[in-house]
């Protein structure tokens, strides 16, 4: 039976199709010729497949061209994209101010030369399926609908549009409030010497709600960003919106951050992803516990992780004929902030092209293609290298204080006797996290360190014990929270956490009842932001944005999230906590204390999120 | 039902939006506005947005069809929520189609130490800067790949002191005489029929009256 699947007013509609004639059938149709899609189309065509590309914009390259995102954020170099990159960089040196411009021209030229059919200003509005196999697409261009058949469809829209239309299961947003990462408006500016792209972050938006999306476009494009453009001439706001996160498919073989931390990685990788878990926004309090333990609880947010990405992470669960080699691939939310970088996308594109080629040339379904043949091709090109499996690393060029950073491998501690020497420093993160791997054998040493006269040692030992779910250090955590300990730990080159916030985080994770009055005071007191910690400029490097009290924001957001966690566990405290939330968020006082910026700005949106999370908890507790 | 649905988030649309406010729905395929002039002049920046903010706008929405009904029109779009329909008493189409045009060009913005000169191509300096708009004529039937091929031919003639800064992502159309005009109850008011963003905006305001 053949079906046409469409989305109408946000809902999937499936209709049986009696007779179906395709205008033309291709080996591969790529929807979305962006960072991944343009490469997937090119490599497929180079492999001898017939390819059609459907793109809503007027050129290829997506984020890498019309999005103004030209750089590579970490990643593991190697693979077929390198040839195009070399051509692009050489051309840019001589003829263009940015590589985005070179790529616009050269990528398209290569696609045309390889015979890829290009449909610009076009979109997919229907998916043809035989049971759960995608066999074609309905394409809309200039008001005309045309049906095309395909042996393999690649959804490279970054948003899983085609997959969602086909009925594949998708997920998006974080569990606390459903929100995605803040979006960004990228502009091309001239600073008198260079032409460069600048990013201005805005709030979080549901880009699948057309009204919210449109309001966000209007707001960010009209927002007067004087500070950000100071001393520069605006050449152009980029036509693409900078959405950093979107819908993701539930894949045949999903990637989970917990597995990465536990060292249980796939045996069928298509490439290795390598970056930090870059959440981008500062309201990391609401990003969940998997990431929270790492980034807040151990202050390792900017450490790089290596993720082996299985080839079946681009195959939607239960489907065939469809691959999703783009940002919408099947990774969980916590790890999605790493596995989305430009290099990852090009590698996913290469894997998809090879996979499709094997399926088409061997006349097999995608599910039946052997991993060995795919891996061989990916190894030959350098896309997949075992040496890319680099574990956890400190990487980058500059430390938090501006001094040069020497990249190095992270060695987790295995001997409890080593803990003290690390915990007494202002870089205790590796020791705190190592305790996760040591388990109970670390406990005797940590209990001894709790009574150390050294402040760092005992506080960090309390964090480490909390990592194991143990509350022997709770009193120290409470004191640290009550003192609003503003020491910024220094494990990371960026995004370091304040120790008082870490203590509050762990008290929430331990569901500590005793801290409730202190946290209630923190969120309700109108003079809280007058305390010394909030004006200690030396501590606030991370949070320095004009019109935004980032330190107060951190304490307030952590306190609210801790109270939510405590209330979730202790039902008898829910009414008291709900009452505190009602008082704290009765007026906009909390907002004004955090920021003077508009509500749709990044800072304004983060401030509002605190209230949203608090009110959602009251609703959840049915109070 | 809206008083008016405007097709295209153009400067003309901004004029209409200013008059009708929330009784007006602007539908735009792209994720930006005012591009019809921006691509030609590389200077009309974000000023179009505050006007559009007064209306309802749907970005990222392709027009599927516009149909006449007894009381007005139904417009079907396809965007992030799939197919959607909107009703209005009036439709004003501010977009340009090749059929409306007598010619089109593909503009690129370049930096040049000396006044550039390329055969068959017009070059216009922006103010006192070293930025020039190089407007490459292309046939009405050309698509973007053909236009970029023509642009590439020009770029490859660059001297050592010339660089391509930004190429348009829209054609610069020259609209035939005879607009605005009404056909089957739809007002065709291509924003690009007017010489400047300001004129297009005014024309939108007048059409809305
Ligand atoms: C502001 C910003 C800064 C970033 N900085 C970096 C960085 O410095 N380094 C780094 O490595 N990564 C960075 N990233 C991440 C990285 O750029 C993206 O994750 C990556 O480009 C995603 O690639 P993609 O192919 O999935 O999507 P895209 O490149 O966005 O391509 C998607 C394509 O699909 C098209 N499309 C979408 N919907 C449809 C549809 N319905 N029909 C037809 N076509 C459609 C789009 O127009 C686009 O061309 C950044 C991202 C953002 C937003």
CA A190, CA A234: separation in Å to the nearest integer?
7
Tokens representing A407? 């990249």
Neighbours of A414 (CB within 10 A): 11
At B47, the pLDDT band (50, 70, 90 cuts) reads: confident
Domains with residue ranges and CATH for chain B: 2-97+176-208 (3.50.50.60), 102-173 (no CATH)
Q: Do domains A2-171+312-386 and A400-472 have the same CATH topology?
A: no
Burial of residue A586, with CB atoms counted within 10 A of its CB: 0-12 exposed, 13-18 middle, 19 or more buried: exposed
CA B14, CA B24: separation in Å to the nearest integer?
10
Give contacts of A215 with chain B, Cβ < 8 Å.
Answer: 57
Window 40-59 of A, Cβ < 8 Å to B: 56-59
Q: In degrees rounded to 5, what are phi and psi of residue A180?
A: -105, 180
Ligand 1 site, residue A53, Cβ cutoff 6 A: no
Do B164 and A210 lie within an 8 Å CB cutoff?
A: no
- Interface residue of A12, A92, A96 to substitute, partner B, most B CBs within 10 Å: A96
- Using CA coordinates, name the residue in chain B closest to A144: B64
A&B contacts, CB < 8 Å: 145
Q: Residue B105's beta-bridge partner residues? A: B137, B172
Q: How far is A231 from chain B (nearest CA, A)?
A: 15
Indicate the domain borders of chain A. 2-171+312-386, 184-237, 400-472, 496-623
The reply to whether ipTM tops 0.90 is yes
CA A318, CA A193: separation in Å to the nearest integer?
53
Do B84 and A145 lie within an 8 Å CB cutoff?
A: no
Quick one: pLDDT at residue A395?
97
Ligand 1 site, residue A348, Cβ cutoff 6 A: no
Do A218 and B80 lie within an 8 Å CB cutoff?
A: no
Neighbours of A462 (CB within 10 A): 30
CB B137 within 8 A of CB B105: yes
A226 has a chain B CB within 8 A of its CB: no
Q: How far is B73 from chain A (nearest CA, A)?
A: 16
Percent of chain A at pLDDT > 70 equals: 98
Of A298, A299, A300, whose CA–CA distance to A466 is shortest? Answer: A298
In chain A, helix, strand, coil percent, each to 5? 45, 20, 35
Helix (H, G, I), strand (E, B) or coil at B109: strand
Domain A400-472 in CATH 3.40.50: no
Quick one: pLDDT at residue A281?
77
**In which element (H, E) is residue A439 found?**
none
pLDDT tens digit sequence for B185-201: 999 999 999 999 999 99
CA A559, CA B93: separation in Å to the nearest integer?
52
The residue contributing the CA closest to ligand 1 atom 27 is: A158
CA B64, CA A595: separation in Å to the nearest integer?
43
- Using CA coordinates, name the residue in chain A closest to B14: A218
Ligand 1 site, residue A244, Cβ cutoff 6 A: yes
Quick one: pLDDT at residue A176?
81
Quick one: pLDDT at residue B40?
80
The residue contributing the CA closest to ligand 1 atom 19 is: A340
A9 has a chain B CB within 8 A of its CB: yes
Which atom of ligand 1 is found nearest the CA of A158? 26
pLDDT tens digit sequence for B114-163: 999 999 999 999 999 999 999 999 999 999 999 999 999 999 999 999 99
Ligand 1 site, residue A555, Cβ cutoff 6 A: no
Using DSSP bridges, classify how beta strands A51-54 and A24-31 pair: parallel, antiparallel or unpaired: parallel
Quick one: pLDDT at residue A253?
98
CA A83, CA A337: separation in Å to the nearest integer?
27
Do A6 and B82 lie within an 8 Å CB cutoff?
A: yes
pLDDT tens digit sequence for B73-117: 999 999 999 999 999 999 999 999 989 999 999 999 999 999 999
Quick one: pLDDT at residue A226?
53
Quick one: pLDDT at residue A280?
77
Distance, CA A159 to ligand 1 centroid (Å)? 9
Give me the DSSP letters along A322-366: EE--STTSSB-HHHHTTTTSHHHHHHHHHHHHHHHHHHHHTT--G
A165 has a chain B CB within 8 A of its CB: yes
CA A429, CA A436: separation in Å to the nearest integer?
11
CB A251 within 8 A of CB A332: no
- Using CA coordinates, name the residue in chain B closest to A126: B82
CA A268, CA A381: separation in Å to the nearest integer?
17
A370 has a chain B CB within 8 A of its CB: no
**In which element (H, E) is residue A300 found?**
none
A236 has a chain B CB within 8 A of its CB: yes
* B110 CA to centre of own chain: 21
pTM above 0.90, yes or no: yes
Ligand 1 site, residue A325, Cβ cutoff 6 A: no
CA A580, CA B164: separation in Å to the nearest integer?
58
Do B84 and A210 lie within an 8 Å CB cutoff?
A: yes
For chain A, list residues with pLDDT below 50.
Answer: none
Tokens representing A103? 């790529």
pLDDT tens digit sequence for A277-329: 977 778 999 999 999 999 999 999 999 999 999 999 999 999 999 999 999 99
CATH architecture of A2-171+312-386: 3-Layer(bba) Sandwich (3.50)
- In A64-84, which positions are buried (b, 16+ CB within 10 angstroms) versus exposed (e)? bbbbbbbeeebbbbbbbbeeb
CA distances from residue A102 to A53, A106, A192, A292, A346 in whole angstroms, order as listed: 20, 6, 21, 40, 17
Distance, CA A36 to ligand 1 centroid (Å)? 8
Do A217 and B57 lie within an 8 Å CB cutoff?
A: yes
Do B58 and A125 lie within an 8 Å CB cutoff?
A: no
């Amino acid at each position: 039976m053949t079906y046409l699947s469409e989305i109408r007013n946000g809902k999937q509609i499936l209709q049986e199709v009696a007779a179906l004639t395709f205008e033309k059938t291709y080996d591969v149709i790529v929807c979305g010729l962006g960072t991944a899609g343009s490469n997937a189309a090119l490599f497929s065509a180079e492999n001898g497949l017939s390819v059609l590309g459907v793109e809503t914009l007027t050129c290829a390259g997506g984020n890498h061209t019309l999005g103004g995102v030209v750089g590579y954020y970490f990643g593991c170099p190697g693979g077929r994209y390198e040839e195009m990159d070399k051509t692009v960089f050489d051309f840019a040196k001589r003829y263009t101010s940015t590589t985005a411009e070179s790529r616009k021209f050269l990528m398209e030229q290569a696609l045309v030369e390889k015979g890829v059919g290009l449909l610009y200003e076009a979109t997919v509005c229907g998916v043809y399926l035989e049971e759960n196999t995608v066999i074609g697409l309905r394409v809309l261009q200039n008001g005309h609908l045309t049906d095309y058949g395909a042996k393999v469809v690649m959804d490279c829209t970054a948003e899983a549009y085609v997959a969602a239309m086909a009925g594949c299961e998708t997920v998006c947003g974080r569990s606390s409030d459903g929100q995605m990462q803040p979006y960004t408006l990228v502009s091309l500016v001239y600073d008198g010497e260079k032409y460069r792209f600048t990013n201005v972050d805005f709030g979080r938006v549901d880009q699948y709600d057309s009204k919210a999306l449109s309001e966000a476009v209007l707001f960010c494009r009209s927002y007067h960003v004087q500070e950000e453009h100071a001393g520069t001439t605006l050449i152009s706001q980029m036509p693409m919106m900078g959405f950093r996160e979107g819908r993701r498919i539930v894949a045949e073989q999903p990637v989970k951050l917990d597995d990465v931390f536990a060292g249980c990685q796939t045996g069928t990788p298509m490439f290795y992803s390598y970056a930090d878990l870059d959440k981008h926004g500062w309201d990391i309090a609401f990003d969940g516990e998997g990431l929270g333990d790492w980034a807040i609880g151990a202050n390792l947010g900017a450490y790089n992780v290596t993720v082996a990405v299985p080839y079946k992470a681009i195959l939607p669960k239960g489907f065939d004929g469809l691959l999703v080699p783009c940002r919408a691939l099947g990774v969980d939310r916590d790890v999605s902030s790493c596995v989305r970088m430009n290099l990852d996308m090009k590698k996913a594109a290469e894997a998809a092209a090879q996979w499709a080629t094997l399926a088409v040339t061997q006349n097999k379904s995608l599910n039946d293609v052997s991993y060995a043949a795919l891996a061989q091709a990916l190894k030959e090109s350098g896309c997949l290298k075992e040496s890319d499996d680099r574990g956890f690393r400190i990487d980058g060029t500059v430390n938090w204080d501006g001094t040069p950073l020497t990249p190095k491998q992270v060695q987790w501690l295995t001997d409890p006797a080593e803990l003290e020497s690390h915990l007494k420093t202002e870089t205790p993160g590796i020791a705190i996290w190592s305790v996760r791997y040591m388990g109970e054998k670390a406990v005797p040493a940590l209990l001894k360190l709790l009574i150390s006269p050294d402040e760092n040692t005992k506080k960090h030992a309390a964090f480490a014990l909390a990592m194991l779910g143990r509350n022997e250090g709770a009193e120290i955590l409470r004191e640290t929270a009550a003192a609003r300990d503003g020491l910024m730990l220094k494990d990371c080159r960026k995004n370091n956490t304040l120790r008082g916030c870490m203590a509050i985080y762990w008290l929430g994770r331990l569901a500590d009842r005793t801290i409730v009055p202190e946290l209630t005071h923190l969120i309700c007191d109108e003079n809280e932001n007058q305390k010394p910690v909030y004006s200690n400029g030396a501590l606030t490097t991370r949070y320095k944005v004009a019109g935004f009290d980032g330190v107060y924001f951190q304490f307030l957001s952590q306190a609210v999230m801790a109270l939510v966690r405590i209330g979730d566990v202790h039902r008898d405290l829910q009414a008291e906590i709900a009452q505190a939330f009602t008082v704290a968020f009765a007026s906009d006082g909390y907002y004004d204390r955090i920021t003077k910026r508009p509500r749709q700005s990044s800072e304004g949106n983060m401030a509002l999120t605190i209230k949203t999370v608090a009110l959602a908890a009251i609703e959840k507790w049915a109070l | 039902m809206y008083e008016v649905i405007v097709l295209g988030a153009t400067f003309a649309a901004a004029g209409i939006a200013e008059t009708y406010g929330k009784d007006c729905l602007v539908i735009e395929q792209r994720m930006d506005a005012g591009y019809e002039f921006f691509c030609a002049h590389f200077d009309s920046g974000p000023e179009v947005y505050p006007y559009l903010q007064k209306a309802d706008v749907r970005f990222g929405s392709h027009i599927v069809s516009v149909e006449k009904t007894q009381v007005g029109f139904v417009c079907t779009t396809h965007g992030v929520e799939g197919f959607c329909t909107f009703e209005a008493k009036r439709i004003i189409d501010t977009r340009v189609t090749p059929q409306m045009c007598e010619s089109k060009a593909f503009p690129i913005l370049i930096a040049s130490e000396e006044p550039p000169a390329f055969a068959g191509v017009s070059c216009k300096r922006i103010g006192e800067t070293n930025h020039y708009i190089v407007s490459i004529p292309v046939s009405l039937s050309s698509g973007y790949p053909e236009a970029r091929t023509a642009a590439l031919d020009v770029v490859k003639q660059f001297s050592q002191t010339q660089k391509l800064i930004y190429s348009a992502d829209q054609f610069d159309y020259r609209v035939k005489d005879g607009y605005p005009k009404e056909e089957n109850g739809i007002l065709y008011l291509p924003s690009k029929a007017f010489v400047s963003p300001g004129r297009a905006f005014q024309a939108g305001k007048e059409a809305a009256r």
